């Protein structure tokens, strides 16, 4: 990458650099003596149980290795800024786990030769891995001119649909997950029907209710997940196996147009909240929990997991009885949905002075029994990257309700991973794809249609042109 391209690529982060540097602190491994202290930055969990499980692991590691571990938890957006600033300033932690590493850190900074090659760790752990989850960390280094592993995958998330069963029951609609129509048009029409019926039944209560909580914002990564899932349904592809842009090929351009047209019609039909074009990633979750939407796609099990931990519902009726999780619908061609996994990775910066200890720490975290305890603490929000961990009965069975109810959520996610066609997001193919997602060009294309009233062809061509320009900047 040339200097000009490098500057353009990093420009969105420069404004946050000074602030983030203040958060980094002075005691990082740029000045620490090897083996003295291990600095670990970890994504703050969605639930206290996740953080408690990691704290327990750290204490065990400190006792076993007689070393101090400085562990800090940070929310994902702030942690991404913190990691980016640290890499730019060359004041790095020893280990960093961020939910955005897979698409914002590993491809970019692996390309720039700023991450430690962890191929030795991957080689050791390979027999334990679900092979589909490894490629996300196998990225190109523009200095060495070859691919290697610059991250260690540990867990993944994929797309599901959540809905309120009790709201469907209220208007006499079938609420059984096994009986929800799965054909493309019928599926989306079902939630429109629910909105119409509930608004008609009780205008005072449901006058502002929406059937489909579809995130369509340039502010949300969920938008990109929704777009890519829909594009797969329309049989479109953006990159070939070698990471070359093929979005402009006639077949793929047409699929992009049809995908954007579908999103536009979904929005303008009045069945998606009008503020969905300005949502952040948590807003569809909030809308669902407040019952202002009947259903929502979500790329993790965070919604039902939050209801499982809901202290205002001690019998866990919301989790077991009132809501359900189902699959993404069959495509317009009638074929079963294909799924995308976001595989979360741990990184070790190349400039860490404690690389050996850092690798030992990650190995320690990933020891089978210890890692299983950690990943299960997230209550099904994450699926393990290791086959043995995924064979634990929890993933197929989930929780048992207080009245003996079967878990309607965790087993659905497990079925998607184990029984459906599933592949990792393609950020790993080329670092330019990270910038495509960072700019949220597909969310911008949706806005062109929903807000600016552009035809889908024009919006598609603008987005494709921008994608090609981004890729052309990487030399």
In this predicted model, what pLDDT tens digit does every residue of 259-298 receive, in sequence order?
999 999 999 999 999 999 999 999 999 999 999 999 999 9
Residues 97 and 178 in one domain: no
Tokens of 151: 């991250």
> Is 252 within the bounds of a domain?
yes
CB 434 within 8 A of CB 421: no
> Is 84 within the bounds of a domain?
yes
> Is 426 within the bounds of a domain?
no
Long-range interactions of 60-65: CB distance < 8 A, separation 24+: 60/364, 60/370, 61/361, 61/364, 61/365, 64/364, 65/357, 65/360
Q: Distance between CA atoms of 14 and 420, rounded to whole angstroms? A: 41
Residues 135 and 60 in one domain: yes
Instruction: Give the number of domains in the chain.
Output: 2
Residues 21 and 47 in one domain: yes
Q: Give the mean pLDDT per block of 10 residues along the chain (475 residues).
A: 38 48 52 68 93 98 97 96 96 97 96 98 97 95 97 96 98 98 98 98 97 96 96 97 96 98 96 96 96 96 92 96 98 96 97 97 98 92 95 95 96 94 93 94 96 97 98 90
Residues 122 and 164 in one domain: no
Residues 68 and 146 in one domain: yes
Residue 37's CATH number? 3.40.190.10
Residue 231, classed as helix, strand or coil, is helix
Q: Which residues contact 388 (CB under 8 A, 6 or more apart)?
A: 128, 368
Residues 111 and 205 in one domain: no
Tokens of 188: 């989306």
DSSP bridge partners of 128 = none
> Is 366 within the bounds of a domain?
yes
Residues 272 and 173 in one domain: yes
Residues 24 and 146 in one domain: yes
* Per-residue model confidence as pLDDT tens digits over 342-388: 999 999 999 999 999 999 999 999 999 999 999 999 888 899 999 99
Residue 171, classed as helix, strand or coil, is coil
> Is 350 within the bounds of a domain?
yes
Residues 140 and 215 in one domain: no
Residues 88 and 124 in one domain: yes
> Is 304 within the bounds of a domain?
no
DSSP bridge partners of 422 = 339
> Is 30 within the bounds of a domain?
yes
> Is 338 within the bounds of a domain?
no
Residues 203 and 142 in one domain: no
Structural domain span for residue 394: 3-157+343-420
Residues 120 and 26 in one domain: yes
């Amino acid at each position: 990458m040339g200097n000009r391209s490098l500057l353009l690529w990093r420009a969105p982060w420069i404004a946050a650099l000074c602030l983030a540097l203040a958060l980094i602190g002075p005691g990082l491994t740029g000045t620490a003596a090897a083996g003295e202290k291990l600095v670990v930055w970890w994504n703050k969990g969605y639930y206290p149980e996740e953080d408690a499980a990691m704290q327990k692991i750290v204490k065990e590691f400190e006792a076993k290795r007689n070393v101090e571990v400085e562990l800090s938890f940070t929310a994902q957006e702030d942690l991404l800024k913190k990691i980016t600033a640290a890499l730019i300033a060359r004041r790095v932690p020893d280990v960093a786990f961020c939910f955005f590493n897979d698409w914002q850190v590993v491809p970019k900074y692996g390309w720039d030769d700023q991450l430690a090659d962890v191929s030795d760790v991957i080689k050791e752990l390979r027999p334990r891995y679900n092979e589909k989850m490894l490629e996300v960390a196998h990225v190109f280094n523009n200095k060495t001119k070859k691919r290697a592993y610059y991250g260690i995958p540990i867990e993944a998330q994929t797309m599901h649909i959540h809905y309120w069963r009790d709201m469907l029951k209220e208007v006499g609609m079938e609420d059984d997950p096994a009986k929800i129509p799965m054909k493309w048009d019928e599926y989306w029409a079902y939630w429109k029907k629910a909105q119409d019926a509930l608004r008609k039944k009780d205008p005072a209560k449901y006058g502002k209710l929406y059937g489909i909580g579809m995130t369509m914002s340039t502010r949300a990564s969920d938008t990109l997940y929704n777009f890519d899932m829909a594009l797969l349904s329309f049989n479109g592809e953006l990159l070939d196996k070698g990471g070359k842009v093929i979005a402009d090929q006639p077949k793929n351009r047409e699929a992009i147009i049809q995908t954007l047209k579908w999103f536009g019609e979904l929005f303008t039909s009045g069945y998606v909240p009008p503020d969905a074009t300005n949502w952040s990633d948590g807003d569809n979750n909030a809308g669902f929990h407040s019952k202002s939407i009947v259903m929502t796609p979500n790329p993790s099990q965070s919604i039902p997991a939050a209801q499982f931990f809901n202290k205002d519902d001690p019998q866990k009726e919301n989790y077991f009885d009132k809501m359900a999780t189902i699959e993404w619908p069959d495509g317009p061609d009638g074929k079963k949905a294909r799924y995308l996994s976001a595989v979360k990775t741990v990184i070790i910066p190349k400039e860490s002075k404690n690389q050996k200890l850092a690798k030992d720490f990650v190995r320690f975290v990933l020891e089978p029994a210890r890692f299983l305890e950690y990943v299960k603490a997230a209550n099904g929000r994450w699926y393990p990257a290791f086959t043995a961990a995924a064979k634990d009965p929890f993933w197929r069975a989930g929780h048992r309700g207080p009245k003996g109810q079967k878990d309607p959520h965790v087993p659905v996610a497990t079925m998607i991973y184990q029984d459906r066609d599933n592949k990792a997001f393609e950020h790993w193919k080329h670092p330019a794809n990270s910038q495509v997602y960072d700019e949220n060009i597909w969310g911008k294309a949706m806005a062109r249609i929903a807000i600016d009233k552009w035809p889908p062809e024009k919006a598609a061509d603008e987005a494709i042109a921008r994608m090609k320009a981004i890729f052309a900047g990487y030399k």
